[in-house]
């Protein structure tokens, strides 16, 4: 969608075409645009508040057809609620507006935003509109009804246009980075596979990101036997993609590193998954999607930080050449791994990519993201990601960043007692310890391939896809994690 800012006099409200959106203060008082809209509607807004048909304090929305003689197709009033206005609540208000607008015709919509006060809050509201109106309609030949979201022109009316435009640079970067992640997660596996994924990441070079694609010959040269084992049964070549944003004043300073699991489709391999629900395994590259969205965000807002993104891109298929349960492979670190279950493949990808990232870039901190285990969904459901960390300070920073962005997260335990569950009698380690503590043993496995520098593993299996629409995203790919990692970079790793 296209979003722009414009100064519009209140007495011109009757001349605006398309939908008009007017926020109403949480206490129900009318002033500015809301008062002008109430006059235009002959007091209908005031009556709705007085008769309790509209509760501004609860964030209600109410739509009116406009009187004859006006150009607008409808007026939508949106309660601002009684929560303290923060960047997050302003963004969520934008989400409510984006949802309430439904389908837009060619006239688009105009949102009067001065009730939010500062340009910064108006920028957050604008980003929320974009984030909630996201729709992946690429393969639809026809829309399904008047509630379909999608492209549409939205004008945000503000008295300080230049201030709003300047503030929107950062919030728009987050909206665009999140949309990039959602696009990647939503693509089918016949379109998004390791090579085509890598090609899309090369496009980040236009934003100043240095992108390097490592092919299978290079991965074999590096000794990435663990990652390569996952893709043996696929006709698609495996890749590792390295993305560098060197925005700090000191380009040589130790970076923050984000690592992502990018299994573009996961059948489970020889340990094949049940057929029911397997179509959702196009999302098993969600961790790589979040890392990619982060890199687009930091580049678009020109973050004053050195940020490295590394993603391992593979496809896990059953084939005569596929890895078998019981096979033993050697990881880049030199550790040997007995593969008990080929459906525990994400950790095999991350083992090599984590080791590579830490060896090559000596980061200040490393975070990997992966749709790694169903066990984390059993533990936390779909409202929180689970994370594991070897560093309390980094753990606190992640928790604080997620809280600020209102993305649910919960720290889970690491411990040497979990090591006993992944001991192998034939190799250094086995890739699964069975059903007990499944998320913890997966994290414990990954910890074997990281050094003592601050590291965290975030299991996003439960939050990558949503069965229902939420405040800032429709049903489907959520983009969870881009906002949290962007906040972490901003608060902890910029100059």
Give catalytic residue positions: 273, 347
Chain-centroid distance, C-alpha 189: 19
Strand partners, 330: 336
Q: How many CA atoms lie within 13 A of 276 on its CB side?
A: 0
Please check whether residue 411 is in contact with residue 390, taking contact to mean a CB–CB distance below 8 angstroms. Answer: no
Q: How many CB atoms lie within 10 A of CB 249?
A: 9
Strand partners, 239: 313
For the record, the structure tokens of 427 come out as: 């190799």
Q: In the chain, what's the furthest Cα-to-Cα distance?
A: 82
What SS3 class is residue 328?
strand
Q: Helices H, strands E: what count in the chain?
A: 14, 19
Phi-psi region of 154 (alpha: psi -120 to 50; beta: other; left: phi over 0): beta
Long-range CB contacts (within 8 A, 24+) of 432-435: 432/340, 432/341, 432/344, 435/375
Residue at token pair 């380009």: 251
Instruction: Catalogue the E-assigned strands of 233-361.
Output: 239-246, 256-266, 306-316, 328-330, 336-338
**DSSP H/E element including 93:** helix 87-101
């Amino acid at each position: 969608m296209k979003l722009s800012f414009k100064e519009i006099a209140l007495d011109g409200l009757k001349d605006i075409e398309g939908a008009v959106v007017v926020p109403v203060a949480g206490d129900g008082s009318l002033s500015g645009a809301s008062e002008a809209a109430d006059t235009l509607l002959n007091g209908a807004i005031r009556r709705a508040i007085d008769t309790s048909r509209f509760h501004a304090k609860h964030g209600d929305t109410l739509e009116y057809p406009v009187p004859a003689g006006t150009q607008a197709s409808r007026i939508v009033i949106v309660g601002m609620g009684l929560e303290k206005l923060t960047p997050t609540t302003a963004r969520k208000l934008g989400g409510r507006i984006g949802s309430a607008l439904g389908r837009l015709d060619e006239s688009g919509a105009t949102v009067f935003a001065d009730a939010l006060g500062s340009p910064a809050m108006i920028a957050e509201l604008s980003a929320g509109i974009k984030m909630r109106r996201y729709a992946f309609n690429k393969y639809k030949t026809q829309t399904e009804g008047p509630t379909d979201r999608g492209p549409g022109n939205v004008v945000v009316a503000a008295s300080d246009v230049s201030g709003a435009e300047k503030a929107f640079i950062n919030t728009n970067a987050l909206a665009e980075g999140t949309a990039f992640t959602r696009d990647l997660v939503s693509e089918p596996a016949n379109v998004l596979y390791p090579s085509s994924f890598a090609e899309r990441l090369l496009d980040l070079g236009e934003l100043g990101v240095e992108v390097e694609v490592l092919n299978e010959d290079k991965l074999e040269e590096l000794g990435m036997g663990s990652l390569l084992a996952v893709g043996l049964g696929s006709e698609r070549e495996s890749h590792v993609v390295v993305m560098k944003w060197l925005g700090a004043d000191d380009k040589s300073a130790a970076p923050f590193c984000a690592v992502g699991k990018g299994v573009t489709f996961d059948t489970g391999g020889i340990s094949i998954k049940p057929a029911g629900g397997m179509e959702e395994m196009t999302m098993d590259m969600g961790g790589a999607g979040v890392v990619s969205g982060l890199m687009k965000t930091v580049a678009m807002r020109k973050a004053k930080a050195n940020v490295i993104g590394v993603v391992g891109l593979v496809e896990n298929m059953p084939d005569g050449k596929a890895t078998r349960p019981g096979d033993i492979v050697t990881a880049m670190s030199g550790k040997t791994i007995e593969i008990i279950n080929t459906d525990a493949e994400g950790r095999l990808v991350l083992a090599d990519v984590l080791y590579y990232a830490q060896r090559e870039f000596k980061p200040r901190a490393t975070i990997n993201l992966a749709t790694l285990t169903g066990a984390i969904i059993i533990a936390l459901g779909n409202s929180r990601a689970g994370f594991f960390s070897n560093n309390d300070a980094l753990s606190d920073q992640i928790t604080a960043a997620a809280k600020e962005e209102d993305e649910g997260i919960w720290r889970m335990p690491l411990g040497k007692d979990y090591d006993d569950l992944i001991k192998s009698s034939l190799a250094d380690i086995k890739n699964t310890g069975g059903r007990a503590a499944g998320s913890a043993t997966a994290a414990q496995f990954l910890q074997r391939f990281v050094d003592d520098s601050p590291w965290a593993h975030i299991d996003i299996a439960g939050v990558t896809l949503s069965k229902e629409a939420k405040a800032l995203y429709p049903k489907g790919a959520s983009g969870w994690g881009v906002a949290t990692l962007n906040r972490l970079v901003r608060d902890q790793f910029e100059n």
